[in-house]
Amino acid sequence: MTYPLNRGGLHVPEALSRPADEPDFSHVSIPAAGTVARPEIDAYPASMRDYAYTLIRVLDEDGQALGPWAGDASVETLLQGLRAMQLVRAYDVRMMRAQRQGKTSFYMKSTGEEAVAVAAALALDRQDMCFPTYRQQGLLIARDWSMVDMMNQVYSNSGDRLKGRQMPVFYSSREAGFFSISGNLGTQYSQAVGWAMASASDADSRIAAAWIGEGATAEGDFHHALTFASVYQAPVILNVVNNQWAISSFSGIAGGERTTFAARGLGYGIPSLRVDGNDFLAVYAVTNWAAARARAGGGPTLIELFTYRAEGHSTSDDPTKYRPAAESEAWPLGDPIERLKTHLITRGAWSQDQHDAMVKDADEQVRSAGRESERLGTLKEGERLKASSIFDDVYKEMPAHLISQLEESGL
Amino acid sequence: MTLVAQEARTMSMIEAINQALDIALDHDPSVMIFGQDVGYFGGVFRATEGLQDRYGRGRVFDAPITEAGIVGVAVGMGCYGKRPVVEIQFADYIYPAADQIISEAARMRYRTCGEWWSPLTIRSPYGGGIYGGQTHSQSPEGIFTHVAGLTTVIPSNPYDAKGLLLAAIESDDPVLFFEPKRLYHGPFDGYHDKPVQPWANHPDSIVPEGHYTVPLGKARVLQEGEAVTVLAYGTMVHVAIAAAAETGIDAEVIDLRTLVPLDLDTIVASVSKTGRCVIVHEATRTCGFGAELAALVQQHCFFVLEAPIERVTGWDTPYPHAFEWEYFPGPARLGKTLQHIIEI
C-alpha cells in the first residue's frame, strides 16, 4: 500500500461515517486479548515504543482474562468496580432526566466510559490526587463519595458545597482526591504535573493522575504538561481518554488520523501505552503498572484509553446531526459493564440473577439519593442559597471594593 | 508594618528583591522558586542570584521556556500546599500564561469555595524606558487588574520592593508582582539624557536586612501638596516628583503600590483636599488602569473637583524602539498637564 499523496488542495480530515451512512469502524485494528507483553516498571521508555501503537487488552470476546496484564485485580475489586460502574450509569440516567425535567440547566453523561474512571480510581490509592475532566464522575463514585453531595452540586441547591458558583458536573472534593473541575480544557493537565512535582519534592509517596480528552490534547497545556512531566520526571499518570469525538469533531481533527494519541508521549521520552478503555481489567492493570512506576521514582506514564463516547457530548448536544445513530452499537470494543459482567460470570464469581439485583439496587440507591438531594432544592425550586455569598472567596479576606459592591447589591 | 529594629543598608531594587526571596526561602520550606534562567544562572536580571546554591535545586530551579507551563505547574503546586514564586522573564511574555492566571489561579478559591486556593506569586519585570522595543517594555497591568481574584502590586523603590514582595509571597491570594526593570539599579525620573543615578542617593534605598512587610492594598503619600493630586505607580512615581519640582507646582504625589485591591481612601482624602487629579502611567491609555482610577475619583470626589481628571499615559500604540522618548510619558509631558490643570 502506498501513502495517499494529496495534491488536490488542503487536506481536511473527514469522519468515515456521517448520519446517513452505515457506521464504519473498519479502520480500527484490534489485537487479540492477552497478546501484548508487559514491560518491567523500570523499562527504558525507548524500549516500550510499540506499546503506543497497539492496544493492551485482557478480556477476550468470551469474557476470559488472558495474558500478562490479567490478574492484577482481585475478584472483590472487580465486583466493586462493576457496582461502581453500574452506579455511574444509573446516576447519569437520572441526572440527564433531571435536566430534561428542568431541574438543572445542564448535564454530561459518561456512558460507555465508566471503566476509564472507575478502574483507575480502584487502582490508585485514595490519597493520590486526581485531576479529572468533566467526564470522570466515576472517580467520585468509585471512591464512595456521597452521591447526594454530587447531586446537590448539579442542582445548585441549598446543600451545594460550591454554593451555586459552578455549572453542573464541575464537582470538587479535596477529601475524595478529586480536583476542582474547570471549564477551560487542558488546564488541569499541567496542574497535575505541578502537584506531582510538589509531592516529589517532599519525597511524598502520593502520586497525581490527570485526565484529558483526545480533543483537548490539541491544547497547549497538553504539551506544557508533558514537557514538565518529562523534564522533572514527575510522578504523574497522564491519561488521554480517546472517545473519538470532541463534541462534533471526530478524532482526526484533533490529530489522530495518522497516529495514536499514545504516540504523542514518545517524543517527550514518556512511556506511553495504549489500552482498551472498555476493558476494566486492562485499564486497572495498566494504571496499576503506571502507579507502581511513578511511586518507584520512574516518572510519568502516558496512557491512551481507547473508548467510544456512546451518547451526546452533553445535554446541549444532538449527536445524530454529525454521526450515525447506530454507531454506538457498531463500536467493536463493546460496553465496559457488559464485558466485566460476562467475565465475572465466566469465572463463576457472578450470576445473571446477582447482576439483575445489583442493577435494581443501583437504581434504588440513585433514586434514594435523588429524593434526598431534591429535598434540598433544585436549580429553580425549593430553598435557595444566599445570593450574597457571590462576593465571598474571591479573595481570602473580602477587600473594600467588594464590601462596597455587596452593600450596593442589597443582597 | 512589622519592622523591628534591625541592621539596614543601601540596596538597589534588584538586591532588595533578591534578599526578599532569600528570606522567604529561609523562613518557609514550602516556598519554591522557578522560571526561565532563575536557577544556576541566577536570572537574567540577577534577582535570584545565589539562591540555588544556598537552597538547592529542589527549591530553586530552571524551567523550560513555557510561561503557561510555569504558571500551570505553580497552580498545581499551590494546591498541594507549596508556595510557589515564579518568574516570567518579561511581562511582555506573560500572555501565554493568561489562561492559567485568569481562568485558574484567580478563580481557584472562588470556584471551590475555599477548598483549594492559589498562594502563588508571579514576579515579572515590566515597563519601558530601556529601549526594549515592543516586547521588552510593556505595562500589561490593566489586563490583570480587570480580573477578579488577582492582586496586582508594583513597587517603586528598594524598600517597598522587598516589603511588598514578602507580603505578596505570604499572601494566600495569587499576586502579580510587576517590577519596573528601569528602576532595578537606580531611580529614574524620565530624564534619559542625564547620567543614571544609583539607588545609593535615594532615601528609600535604605533597606532593613531582616524580615519585614509592606502591607498590600495600602498606598503611600510620597509628597504632600495642596494644588493637585498625582496618582502614580512604578517608574512614574519618580517622573511625578520630578515634574512637580520642575514646574514648582505644589502637587501631592501618591504611590499606589497595590492597584487591586486599591487604597481608595487615601486617594479620596487627597483629591478632597486638592480638588484636582492627574493620573500617570506608562501603559497605553484606552481601558488602561487610569480609566478605572478616573472613574473612581469622579464618582467619589465629584463635588470637590475643580477641573477635569487628566490622564498622562503611553500612547495607544505598540511600544516603539527608536521613538522611546516620544512615547514614554516623561516629566515634560506630565509637567505640561499639571500646569494646564491648575490653571483651569
Contact list, A395 vs chain B (CB under 8 Å): 109, 149, 151, 173, 261
Phi, psi of A24 (to 5 degrees): -135, 110
pLDDT in tens, B73-90: 999 999 999 999 999 999
Task: Give the separation between CA A80 and CA A60, rounded to whole angstroms.
Answer: 21
Q: How high is the ipTM of this complex?
A: 0.97
Per-residue pLDDT, B226:
98
Calculated CA dihedral for residues B204, B208, B214, B220, nearest 10 degrees: -20
Helix (H) or strand (E) holding A321, with range, is none
Checking if the pLDDT of B265 tops 70, the result is yes
Contact A228 B108 (CB under 8 A): no
Q: 499606589: which residue's cell?
A: B256
Strand partners, A227: none
pLDDT in tens, A359-398: 999 999 999 999 999 999 999 999 989 999 999 999 999 9
pLDDT in tens, A127-161: 999 999 999 999 999 999 999 999 999 999 999 99
* Sheet (strand B228-232) strand order: B220-223, B251-255, B228-232, B277-284, B310-314
Partner A contacted by B72 (CB < 8 A): yes
Q: 536557577: which residue's cell?
A: B39
Checking if the pLDDT of A303 tops 80, the result is yes
What is the second-level CATH architecture of the domain B9-183? Answer: 3-Layer(aba) Sandwich (3.40)
pLDDT in tens, A157-205: 999 999 999 999 999 999 999 999 999 999 999 999 999 999 999 999 9
Partner B contacted by A394 (CB < 8 A): yes
Highest CATH level, class, for B217-342: alpha beta
Per-residue pLDDT, A358:
98
Amino acid code (one letter) for A46: A
If 0-12 CB within 10 Å is exposed, 13-18 middle and 19+ buried, where does residue A314 land?
Answer: middle
Query: Chain B closest CA to A117's CA: distance in Å?
Result: 21
Strand partners, B124: B178
- Other Cβ atoms less than 10 A from the Cβ of B40: the count is 12
Task: Give the separation between CA A85 and CA A268, rounded to whole angstroms.
Answer: 33
Of B329, B316, B245, B326, the closest CA to residue B279 belongs to B329
Looking at every residue in chain A, the average pLDDT score rounds to 97
Partner residue facing B104 (CB), from A161, A187, A231 = A187
Partner B contacted by A225 (CB < 8 A): yes
> Is B136 labeled as catalytic in the residue annotation?
yes
pLDDT in tens, B110-124: 999 999 999 999 999
Can you give the residue ranges of every domain in chain B?
9-183, 217-342
Confidence at B4, pLDDT banded by 50, 70, 90: low
Percent of chain B at pLDDT > 70 equals: 99
Per-residue pLDDT, B2:
52
Query: Which CATH superfamily does the domain covering A45-380 fall into?
Result: Thiamin diphosphate (ThDP)-binding fold, Pyr/PP domains (3.40.50.970)
Q: 479620596: which residue's cell?
A: B268
Checking if the pLDDT of B3 tops 80, the result is no
Checking if the pLDDT of B228 tops 70, the result is yes
DSSP A142-187: HTT--HHHHHHHHHT-TT-TTTT-S-TT---BTTTTBPPP-SSTTH
Partner B contacted by A401 (CB < 8 A): yes
Task: Give the separation between CA A220 and CA A218, rounded to whole angstroms.
Answer: 6
- The residues in B 294-323 lying below 8 A from A, measured between CB atoms, are none
Confidence at A3, pLDDT banded by 50, 70, 90: confident
DSSP B48-96: TTTHHHHH-TTTEEE--S-HHHHHHHHHHHHHHT-EEEEE-S-GGG-GG
Contact B73 A162 (CB under 8 A): no
Partner A contacted by B96 (CB < 8 A): yes
Confidence at B6, pLDDT banded by 50, 70, 90: confident
Contact B151 A395 (CB under 8 A): yes
Checking if the pLDDT of A270 tops 60, the result is yes
Partner residue facing B64 (CB), from A196, A221, A227 = A227
Looking at every residue in chain B, the average pLDDT score rounds to 97
Catalytic residue among B15, B87, B104, B136: B136
Strand partners, B312: B280
Task: Give the separation between CA B314 and CA B152, rounded to whole angstroms.
Answer: 19
- Other Cβ atoms less than 10 A from the Cβ of A175: the count is 12
Partner B contacted by A205 (CB < 8 A): no
Angle at CA A401, nearest 5°, toward B295 and A163? 130
Model confidence pTM above 0.95: yes
Contact list, A197 vs chain B (CB under 8 Å): 73, 76-77
